[in-house]
Amino acid sequence: MHPHLHRRILNTVFAEHFSTAELRVMAWANMLQDRPRNQIGRGYIHFDDSLFAEAEAYIAAERARVFTALSQGRRRAALRAFGRLLHTRQDFYSHSTWLHDWGATVPDLATQPADAVPLCLDSRNYPNLISGNGGLVWFVLWRLPLFGRWIKANYPPAPDTHEVLNLDGPERGPLFAFSYNAALRHTVVEWELVQDAFLVER
Ligand SMILES: [Zn+2]
């Protein structure tokens, strides 16, 4: 999902729970997940490459860091770990086939309420789920000035690539709004898992 949309979800959900400064710490850690170093060989950070078990394990490990940091009075470290895990959780809905599979069962998307998509509480439970392969080199090639369009026409992305599957922003069509809404609702679920620790620590 595009960075400003991650940020928008955090602002929407956490404005009432964290100060502006704390929100900034969390949002920065969230958006840093998309830095180049995390785009190669670390698909689990973005729920890419069908690395569902790895992504769920990563989220659990970062959540454990939240609790450890708060128990040690390291609130900033906790905010950063929480921001990181939320990035991964939010990316699930825009990078996997969860939304596409749901969309295929719905006759008319336009009549569906924004929260019609069920949350996926544990992606390991759905063996048919896949998520897009990264392919950073192709991503760059398809966007080259002058030649990019030609390259894409002659070497089109495979159906299981991030290029084809992603719902990273509204330009990706009507499923995006449902994907965004699910990411927002799952952010609330993640908050409910850690909120007592954040509140006790304060
Ligand atoms: Zn990402």
Residue 147 has pLDDT above 90, yes or no: no
In this prediction, residue 139 carries a pLDDT of 75
From ligand 1's centre to the CA of 2, what distance in Å? 8
pTM of the predicted protein model: 0.92
Burial class of residue 119 in the structure, from the number of CB atoms within 10 Å of its CB (0-12 exposed, 13-18 middle, 19+ buried): middle
**Domain span at 53:** 3-201
In this prediction, residue 49 carries a pLDDT of 93
From ligand 1's centre to the CA of 34, what distance in Å? 5
Place 38 in a pLDDT band, splitting at 50, 70 and 90: confident
Q: Any idea which of 8-12, 23-27, 143-147 has the lowest mean pLDDT? A: 143-147
Q: Could you count the other beta carbons within 10 Å of the beta carbon of residue 177?
A: 15
In this prediction, residue 83 carries a pLDDT of 98
Place 141 in a pLDDT band, splitting at 50, 70 and 90: confident
Domains of the chain: total: 1
From ligand 1's centre to the CA of 46, what distance in Å? 4
